[in-house]
């Protein structure tokens, strides 16, 4: 409830302004469901074998791909569906932006296609059975009726296509500054939840 009061209302307001939409129960419901998917699955990349073994640490790139595909299937066919999926998935991609800035990883914050393709394209990410079961259990526990299933393997080129699509949709908006303001609000929400979970984990 605290996050709904603190974040969701402003995200709904900014998204409605971005798309010239009237704020109604349908829009609020879509935003809340979308943000819920992002919150519960933003760290899903940590369940990959490559992350668990220390071969790959940029779990948020995998998370952005998973959230985008889950949302694309989960949302109803609203006229703003593609942009909403892109904005929320971009927020997952950027939820460790502060770390990227601190390490001056600017290419990873706003990558060009060639860089993404060379960095991630040749890779592949594997999810063991326990990870697939965890994905389904999280959906059930969170009350999410997601038909999309986490695959056993996700190819790097698939992720590159998804991230490129996300960037193109967000940066291609006629009102790009308004889009980025909306994106920043979603990043703040996911970062807040992520930090709170990390604090509890350390306790």
One digit per residue, the tens of pLDDT, for the chain of length 203 reads 456 667 888 899 999 999 999 999 999 999 999 999 999 999 999 999 999 999 998 899 999 999 999 999 888 777 889 999 999 999 999 888 666 666 565 555 566 778 888 889 999 999 999 999 999 999 999 999 899 999 999 999 999 999 999 988 888 887 888 888 898 899 888 988 877 766 665 55
pLDDT of residue 196: 75
Decide: pTM greater than 0.95. Answer: no
Per-residue pLDDT, 103: 56
As a whole number of angstroms, the distance between CA 132 and CA 48 comes to 10
pLDDT at 109: 58
CA distance 178 to 18: 6
Select 2-202's CATH number: 2.60.40.1180, 3.10.290.10, 1.10.3210.30, 1.10.3720.10.
1.10.3210.30
Q: Which stretch of DSSP H or E encloses residue 136?
A: helix 129-142
Q: Give the chain's end-to-end CA distance (angstroms, integer).
A: 23
């Amino acid at each position: 409830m605290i996050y709904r009061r603190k974040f969701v209302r402003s995200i709904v307001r900014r998204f409605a302004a971005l798309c010239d939409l009237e704020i109604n129960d349908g829009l609020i419901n879509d935003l809340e469901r979308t943000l819920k998917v992002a919150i519960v699955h933003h760290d899903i990349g940590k369940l990959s074998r490559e992350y668990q073994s220390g071969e790959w640490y940029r779990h948020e790139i995998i998370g952005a791909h998973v959230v985008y595909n889950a949302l694309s299937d989960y949302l109803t066919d609203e006229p703003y569906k593609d942009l909403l999926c892109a904005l929320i998935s971009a927020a997952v991609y950027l939820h460790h932006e502060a770390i990227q800035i601190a390490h001056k990883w600017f290419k990873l914050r706003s990558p060009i296609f060639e860089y993404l393709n060379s960095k991630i394209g040749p890779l592949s990410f594997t999810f063991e059975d326990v990870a697939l079961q965890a994905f389904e259990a999280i959906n059930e526990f969170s009350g999410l009726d997601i038909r999309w299933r986490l695959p056993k393997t996700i190819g790097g080129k698939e992720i590159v296509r998804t991230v490129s699509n996300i960037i193109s949709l967000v940066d291609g908006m006629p009102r790009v500054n308004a889009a980025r303001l909306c994106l920043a609000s979603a990043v703040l929400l996911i970062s807040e939840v992520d930090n709170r979970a990390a604090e509890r984990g350390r306790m």
